[in-house]
Amino acid sequence: MSTAPASTTILLVRHGQTATTGKVLPGRAPGLHLSEQGRAQADAVAARLGALTSRPVALYVSPLERARETAAPIARALSVRARVDRGLLECDFGTWTGQRLTTLQRKSQWRRVQHAPSTFRFPGGESFSEMQVRMWSTLERLASAHPREAIVVVSHADPIKAAVTYAQGVPLDLFQRTVIATCSVSALVIGEHGPLVLSVNNTASLNELRPS
């Protein structure tokens, strides 16, 4: 029997590009699908994950279409079933959902969103703090189900940023300094001795994703 501390490697994948990426705050609005480029990105990240020497054993995905469409080729590459988990949802942007970023940037609250997000709640929606707690508790739950294994999680930029900054011990008010590109991979280890961050916003080879 192994006496090594139980730990789980979690590969966080942001969904692929959509027609609104960088233009609109889509949030949890239904009916948003990957663009042609997004589908190509999903195929590419699936190939990268499928080429890993130590293959992930499970795949979890946000219920939104853009995430599930990203997960589909990953599931085929890993020969696993994509399991939907609502804990991986995008932040609930409330009444800001679907608005153009150029419009939102003119709002007086935009500065708080960028520089003091821990103090902000989206009107009719979720706070960044609630999103971070939700995302991290979901990752801990998934990790506990897969000790000494690797899993893939397909989610959204803000939840992934919030998880990475939490794992690093960085205050939530600084999480906007982290960039999570479409179909990038960010790798964390969750174990008995606390989290480790192996890689953030990785779009290159994944074969070196192991703690030293």
Per-residue pLDDT reduced to its tens digit, 49-97:
999 998 999 999 999 999 999 999 999 999 999 999 999 999 999 999 9
For residue 194, the SS3 value is strand
Annotation says 90 is catalytic: yes
Q: What CATH code would you report for 13-202?
A: 3.40.50.1240
Catalytic residue among 90, 126, 146, 156: 90
Packed helices 128-144 and 157-168: angle between N→C axes, nearest 10 degrees? 80
pLDDT of 204: 79
15 is catalytic: yes
Question: Dihedral of the CA atoms 181, 185, 191, 194 (nearest 10)?
Answer: -30
Count CB-CB contacts under 10 A for residue 102.
9
Q: Is the pLDDT score of 192 beyond 90?
A: no
This prediction's pTM:
0.94
User: Do residues 185 and 16 touch, judged by C-beta distance below 8 A?
Assistant: no
Question: Catalytic residue among 15, 69, 126, 156, which?
Answer: 15
Task: Tell me the per-residue pLDDT of 124-169, one tens digit each, with 9 for 90 and over.
Answer: 999 999 999 999 999 999 999 999 999 999 999 999 999 999 999 9
